[in-house]
Amino acid sequence: MKQNFTVRQGALDGVEAFLSVAQHKSFRRAAAELGVTPSAISQAVRTLEERVGAALFTRTTRSVGLTEAGERFLARAKPAFEELVSAGEVARELGRRPSGLLRLAVPRAVVPILLEQLIASFCEAYPDIELEIAASAQLVDLAAEGFDAGIRLGQFIAADMVAVRLSPPFRFIVVASPAYLDRHGRPERPEDLRHHACIRLRRSGGALALWQFEDNARTLEVAVSGPLIAHDFPTILGAALEGVGLAQVPEPIASEAIAAGKLVHMLEPYAPMTPGMFLYHPGKRQMMPKLRAFIDHVKKRSEVADRS
């Protein structure tokens, strides 16, 4: 059975007034410092004393002094209050300018495609930001794991997230090394894959990913088999380069190897298009300047690349 609890109200009420009076030994000067009336300061201190359960000041018509309880309260309250003020300043500074630790959750395959060319220029442009990139295949909960933003394929981003495009749409393609094709031949249709060794991907949820194709606007899902199961696309691509089997990977990570003749692209008419890569975050109201700076930097670099 749940017990009834109430949030304690006013735990710090009157502390600032108390500290000011203790410093100046005067209710009038404390009132002037805080911009309120002496009666307001007196009432705040009186309420604090009632809550504490002890008199904190000895008052006469000529002077104000601390009681023993007041001395002990001052010794503990002053450094604690100063730390609270300092904490507020630190938080306020993070809200004013791009600074602090920026944590991004990204798939490993994204780092060479999208981030390597951005990291150096971003760190140079914003020296007060510490950029942390956590490369993982997991679909993380940004808030629960302490990340500012993540990068994922558009189809894997929750509807309540704000998404910022990082790449144009691209295809998922099937590739293999020339050596593998010399040994096993080249598939011409998706159904031919049952005769081939295929390198499979295990998703973060534990399921093996089906290979997807498009045939006259119809989506096909094919369960393939093969000697290797990996958890990320860079591992799959590396295995394909070594001739382990066929691989279905994002076209951008394979384009360099295809251009160099190390991989061959096949089943091109059936390659499905994906929305592309997006940076996602909880929303504009929660966006700190450090994340806004990263998004603006990415957009600026994209505009430069589009013009060149």
Same-domain check for residues 287 and 164: yes
Q: Are residues 162 and 202 in the same domain?
A: no
On average, the pLDDT of the chain sits at 85
Q: Do β-strands 170-176 and 247-250 pair in parallel, antiparallel, or remain unpaired?
A: antiparallel
- pLDDT reported for residue 2: 42
Task: Please state, in angstroms and rounded to a whole number, the distance separating the CA atoms of residues 273 and 219.
Answer: 11
Task: Tell me the two tokens of residue 195.
Answer: 């005769």
Q: What is the CATH number of the domain that holds 213?
A: 3.40.190.290
**C-alpha closest to that of 134 among 167, 170, 168, 105:** 105
- Do 180 and 263 lie in a common domain? yes
Instruction: State which of 96, 124, 145 marks the end of a domain.
Output: 96
Structural domain boundaries enclosing 78: 15-96
pLDDT at 9: 47
Same domain, 149 and 189: no
- Choose the weakest-confidence range: 48-57, 94-103, 296-305: 296-305
> Considering its fold, how many domains does the chain have in total?
3
Each residue's pLDDT tens digit, 131-173:
998 887 677 778 778 899 988 888 778 888 888 888 889 999 9
Amino acid 94: pLDDT: 55
Q: What is the pLDDT of residue 192?
A: 96
Shared domain check, 265 and 196: yes
Last-in-domain residue among 35, 66, 96: 96
Query: What does the pLDDT look like over 207-220, one tens digit per residue?
Result: 999 999 999 889 99
CATH of residue 120: 3.40.190.10
Mean pLDDT along residues 168-191: 95
Give yes or no for a contact between 64 and 27, defined as CB atoms under 8 angstroms apart: yes
Q: What is the pLDDT of residues 249-297, one digit of tens each?
A: 999 899 999 999 999 999 999 999 988 888 888 876 667 889 989 988 8
284 with 266, same domain: the answer is no
